[in-house]
Structure formats: C-alpha cells, structure tokens
Structure 1
Amino acid sequence: MAWPARSAAAFRGAALTVVAVSVLLVTGCSGPPVLVPVATPSPTARPAGDSGPPVTVAFSPLRGTRLEEPAAPHPSIAVKIDNHEEARPQIALNRSDIAFEELVEGGLTRYLVVWHSDVPESVGPVRSVRPMDPDIASPFGGIMSYSGGQEQFVEMMMATPLVNIVFDFDDTGLFERADERPSPHDVILAAAEAVSRNASLAPPPVQFSYGTRDPLAAPALAATPTSRIDLVFSEARFPSWEWDATSGAWLRSQEGAPDSEASGDRVRATNVVTLRVGIDWSYGEVPRTVMVGSGEAWASVAGRTVHGTWTKDAAAAPIVLTADDGSRIRLAPGNTWVELVPDEGSATFVP
C-alpha cells in the first residue's frame, strides 16, 4: 500500500517530553570541567573565601562547548542524509553536533545527522528512512526529517514520539529540489525554518560525557597514539580519518579520497566514536543496525584512541561509553561522528 499524500503536520508524532538538562560549572573547583546529564539543576556553590554570587555556566548539550550567551531553548533536528557518490558534497555536515554513519543496502552507507548548536538554513541531500533510525534518533527528542521510505520503516519512525517532517507528505514548503543535483539526490530541507516552526519542543538531553580538550591523557585509560583511523563497512564503503594536530581535528576521507562538504571545507570532527555493531537481516536486503544492546567501542580524541564498550539499554536511551578500566569515556568539547561499523567490517587505528 502506498502512503497517501498528506501534510507533514498530519503525520507528526507527539512532542517528546524531556526533562530539561542543566549543566553547572562551579568556579574554584579542581579538575577539568565535565559535562554530564542531570535530571534537575544542582545548586551552585562558591569557593572558600569568595563572597560573590555563584557562577552558572551553560554548555551545549550535544557538543559540550561553553555557551557565552545561551540562546533560547529549541529542539534538535535529526535528518537522514544521503551518501551516494552523486549526493556528494553534502550540505553543512561540519555545522552538525553529532553524525552517525550506518550501513544500508548494496554495501553503501547513509548518515543520520543531528543539528542543535548551529542549525543551518539548509541541509541535504535528504533521503529515506531505514529500520535502525528510530533507535538512533529517539534519544534526542525533537524533530526527525527524511524523504520517505518503505511503508514499514515509515510506520516505525511515526511510532516514535518525534515530530516527523517528511518530504513525501510535506505541503508546507520546507523542502525543495536543487536544480544542480541529480534526482533523487537533490532534496534539500530548510532546517532552520523547520526548527523555528517547532520551537516549543524541548531541547535535547546530553548524550555523551565531556572533559578537557585532551580527555584521554590519563594513564589509567591506556589510550594509544593514533594518526589515522581506517574503517571498512563493505567493499564499497571504507572511510578513514586522519588526525591533524594543526587544526585539532580528525579529517575525513572516503574510499581513499578527501571528503569535502558543499562549502568546500574538508569534513572534520573533534571526536570519532567507533562502535562495533551487529546487523539484523530480517528485512531482506535492507540491513538493520542493532542499536539496543552492547559491544566493542573506541573513542578517538586529540590524536589518541581509548578502547572500551558501548551500551544502549532502550530505544530512547543514550549510548554510554565505558573504558576498559571501568570509567566513563569523556569526549572533547566539539562535534562528534559515530561510526556504526558492522561486525563483518573492520576498524584499524594506526599509531
């Protein structure tokens, strides 16, 4: 049965109810600042001998970066982004907070990209939803946008509490086709406008823990120097990341060629998190990345890589990263790419 042409508003899920996250940095405390999710605000405190008022510092929940002047609360927007060769270069990847790369049919990969700290005017190209996307997007709350998909996969996404904004059903002008791009790799979303129309939704909860710019330096973590990350999803998709100390970022390549976004800038990340994941083939040729469970994990930050495990207890639960010594893995403040590498693939970390 084909989906009827109806407005995006008619297909919206109920707004996700999320407890607001407050992050407080108390002046005078020793040790690095750490961003962690908390259910309710904690009272600030003053260091000994300080008679002034307590200081509250706001952080971006999905980047861990300090906000000098916090903006009005607004939701995040997750968008299914194409990674076909004809879809490149993608728009505004470097302005995202967290990007997930996942295996899809034919050995290709697609992205589920989340913007919150810096929502661009336009993002894309937007493509169709896959069966693992509800489990990836649900922890963020807010908005999920995609171009359509198999009926069963659209139903799965519609069943989440997220607001669904779907190209196939939209009659509100949030999407357009870019004349300079070949179809079907030409659907562009007005992301900032989509967020503006849903500004009453809650902001996203914190997903990862954050520390200093070099959070893996502690000897107990046994992090190893890393200059390059080589990943294999399939024979058709083998991205890599190179550490660039000058810019303080990991620089991305795909299939051996530098990967750039539409701005002309090299795709980059402050943190690269690699998760070894199982694949469920019960949907025929469409692989479903198994996101609820646990597995092997690596976090690569500031030219180092630490080994550990990942766990995700439920569809709406965040991914938790734990180092081999039992401590929580902390990332550096900045954007993060999460590489969902299948068990049949590989991850190599070159010193």
Structure 2
Amino acid sequence: MGDTSARGRALLSLTLAIGLGLCMSGCVPQKTTPSASPTPSLTPTVTAPPTSVAPLRGTTVPAGSLDHASIAAKIDNLPSARPQIGLESTDLVYQELVEGGLTRYVAVWQSSIPALIGPVRSIRPMDPDIVSPLGGIICYSGGQQRFVDLMRKTPVYNAIHGQADTASTFFRTPTKAAPHNVLVKAPELLAQHADIPAPAQQFQYASAPTSTAATAGTPTAAISYAFSGVTSGSWTWDAAKAVFLRSQGTGPDLDSAGAQLSTTNVVVMRVTVTVDQNVPKTNLMGSGEAWISSGGRTVHASWTKASATDPIHLADDAGAPVLLAVGNTWIELVPTAGSVSVVAPG
C-alpha cells in the first residue's frame, strides 16, 4: 500500500511538472480586449421654419400661410346694422363720411378670414382710392353706376351683391332688416379667387414695443373725434389689455359677441371733403395732418398719398417714417370741418 501511494504521488508531481513546462514554453497568453468607448450622442440641429410678415398687421407668420388675397368690404354703420359681423377680425378699417353726416367703413381682412362679414352696403366715390393699393377683392351691394364704374376700373375684383358670380357667397340674413342684412361667406368667396395674390404691405411696422408713438409720443388717455354734428366717437386706452377701446357717440361700440371693439393702432387723418350731387367724397390724393396712436401714446404726423394705387405714407414732424405697432389698425378719415382731440391722462 505504501509503495502504491508513493508511486501515485510521484506520478502526479511529474504530470504537473510536465504541464507547467509545456505552458512556460508554448502557452499563448490571453489578451484582454478593452471595452469600446460609448459613441457620444449628437444633439440634432433644429432648423426654425421659415417665416414671413403679415402684410396688413406686421405680425410674424409661417412662410406661405398668407399667400392669398385680401377681402375688403363696404360695411354699414347705421345703428340698425350694428353689431356688424367680422369687424373684430379685421386687419384694417377705414371710417369715412357719407351722406347726412353719417359714416361707413371700408373693412379689410387678410390675416384672418371670418366665416361671415357684413352687412355690406353700396360703394362711394372715395372707395377706389382706398382699396386700389390692396388689390384683392372688394365686396359691396351696388351703388350709383358712376361709382360702380370707377370701382370696376381698379385692379381689384368687384364682388357685387345680385350678380351671378356672387349668388353662392352673398345672401340676406333674416336676423336684420333690409337693406342692412346682406352678408358675405368670406372663405367661400376667397376660395373662388385663389389666383389673386396677397396684398402689398400698406404701413411700416416696428418690432414691439418700439413703435414711433410708443417711443416718441405723448401719453394718451383717449382720442376723440367728430365727423359731423351727428357722428362722433372715441378710442380709450386700456393699459391692462394694451389696446384702444372703441366707442361711438356716448357708448361702447360692440362686436357681434358683445365685446368692445379694439385696436392696436389708431391713425387719424385730416382730409378735405368735396360734394358732388349730394354725395361727399373724401379726397385722398395729396397730403394732410395726422395723429398716430399706439402703446398708450400719440405722435403728431403727416400723411401723403401720391396716386390711387399708392398706399398712404405716414411721416413724423421730422420727416421720418412712422412705424406702427404690430397688430390691427383703424384709420379715421376725419374731415377738416370735423374735430380731433388727443386727451392726456388725468
């Protein structure tokens, strides 16, 4: 037994020795492969979508989103026509003198097209000079043939109530009495004239809050005006809402939802008025005095218009262009026989 155990131990020792020798002479050491470094993640480059400027508001909008015509309309302003439909969505509104010391509007939509606008009424002799710089579409219910002929000569598509081409877009609403009840389906009308291009920019705009009035004007609580002995109104600054609120006569001027009409900019232009066969005409070719209000301030200025297709140009008393605040604008074409008053706070 003892010999067998001794021989076993000797055999095991020999085997270990041979294995160790073989490994020392021929074993290939294993290489440790280092773990790969993680690939750094790259932050994707985000390209801002292209933008453009809304031509009648100065706001920044997605490029191509406003590549369509403007729609202007001759809007009734008699008490029986109020509240009008769509005025709260306008880009521009021009208020003008008509017969009897009353006023009507030329309202313009392009940035936002409401489902309905109106009530529309007949054309007047100054309207071609107002809408010609816009191109686009003008909606009205007719008028004296001499004035319709003038409007048809402009670079504006005439959409007239009672014509074959407006049979599907103009209608009389039962909610108002004639003749104060002609409304227009504005999106449908615009879709019928998709080939008409967008309007040119009408006024110059500043980056908020650096409008000319806001930076160089005098503090203003209200702008009051009178077109005649029977038509007056005012715009009152609301600092909380950063807009001017509209009143006619002695009461608030409301939209169809019951809210008071408002605007970012008020442009008051003093204009001469001539009368032909009892029809007043606001004269827009030439120049005159103006007041431009935005941001709760007002700057004194002048206006000029060189031709029917030229936009109105506004300049301060030093001759520099007046920059409006970004937003909507109401233009009050107040006769020189009327009055304008800028009311200071307090």
1:27 corresponds in structure 2 to none
Q: Helix, strand or coil: the match of 2:117?
A: coil
- Contact kept in structure 2, 1:81 and 1:126, CA below 8 Å: yes
Aligned length: 299
Q: Secondary structure at the match of 1:134?
A: helix
Residue 326 (str. 1) matches residue 314 (str. 2): no
Cα deviation, 1:106-127, whole Å, max 9, x if unaligned, reads 0000000010000111000000
Asked if 1:175 corresponds to 2:166, the answer is no
The 3 A distance-change label for structure 1 pair 123 and 215 is: same
- Conserved? CA contact 2:71–2:136, under 8 Å: yes
Query: Is contact 1:98-1:113 (8 Å) kept?
Result: yes
What does 1:1-351 correspond to in 2, within 5 Å? 56-68=50-62, 70-71=64-65, 73-170=67-164, 172-216=167-211, 222-281=216-275, 283-351=276-344
2:106 partner amino acid: L
The amino acid of 2:89's aligned partner reads R
Q: Distance in 2 between matches of 1:270 and 1:347?
A: 19
CA offsets, 1:316-342, max 9 Å, x none?
000000000221100011000000000
2:11 corresponding residue in structure 1: none
Give the structure-1-normalised TM-score: 0.82
C-alpha distance after superposition, 1:161-200 (max 9, x if no partner)? 2110000324531111111101100000111111111011
Shift of the 60–216 alpha-carbon distance from structure 1 to 2, 3 Å rule, reads: closer
Cα deviation for residue 280 of structure 1 reads 1.4
Find the aligned partners of 2:318 and 2:66 in 1 and give their Cα distance: 39
CA distance in structure 1 between the aligned counterparts of 2:229 and 2:274, rounded to whole angstroms: 19
Moved runs in structure 1, 4+ residues, more than 6 A? 51-55
Q: Which amino acid aligns with 2:67?
A: P
AA at the equivalent of 2:231:
R
Q: 1:277 & 1:152 partners in 2: Cα distance?
A: 23
Out of 233-242 and 207-216, give the one that drifted further: 207-216
* Secondary structure of the corresponding residue to residue 235 of structure 2: strand
> How much has 1:212 moved relative to structure 2?
2.7
Counterpart-to-counterpart distance in 2, 1:72 and 1:117:
7
- Aligned counterparts of 2:75 and 2:237: Cα–Cα separation in 1: 24
The answer for unaligned runs of 5 or more in structure 1 is 1-50
Q: Which amino acid aligns with 1:309?
A: S
Deviation string for 1:193-214 (max 9, x for gaps)? 1111101111000000000333
SS of the counterpart of 2:162?
A: helix
What letter is aligned with 1:137?
Answer: V
Larger radius of gyration: 2
Higher fraction of helix: 2
Superposed displacement of residue 236, structure 1: 1.1
CA distance in 2 between partners of 1:297 and 1:217 (Å): 13
Question: Judging changes above 3 Å, is the alpha-carbon distance between structure 1 residues 216 and 210 closer, same or farther for their aligned structure 2 residues?
Answer: closer
Residues 85 and 116 in structure 2, CA contact (< 8 A), matched pair in contact too: yes
* TM-score (norm. length: structure 2): 0.83
Moved more, 85-94 or 69-78: 69-78
Q: What residue number does 1:37 align with?
A: none
1:65-106 CA-partner distances (Å, limit 9, x unpaired): 111464151100110000001000001111111000000000
Tell me how far 1:136 sits from its aligned partner.
Answer: 0.2
Structure 1 pair 193/214, CA: closer, same or farther in 2 (3 Å)? same
- Contact 2:212 2:322 (C-alpha < 8 Å) held by counterparts: no
Q: Distance in 2 between matches of 1:53 and 1:119?
A: 29
Letter in 1 for 2:173: A
Structure 1 vs Structure 2: percent identity of aligned residues? 46
Structure 2, gaps ≥5 residues long: 1-44
- Measured on the aligned residues, the alpha-carbon RMSD in Å equals 1.8
Contact residue 213 and residue 299 of structure 2 kept, 8 A = no
8 Å Cα contact 1:216-1:305 kept in structure 2: no
Q: Aligned partners of 1:217, 1:337: CA distance in 2, in Å?
A: 16
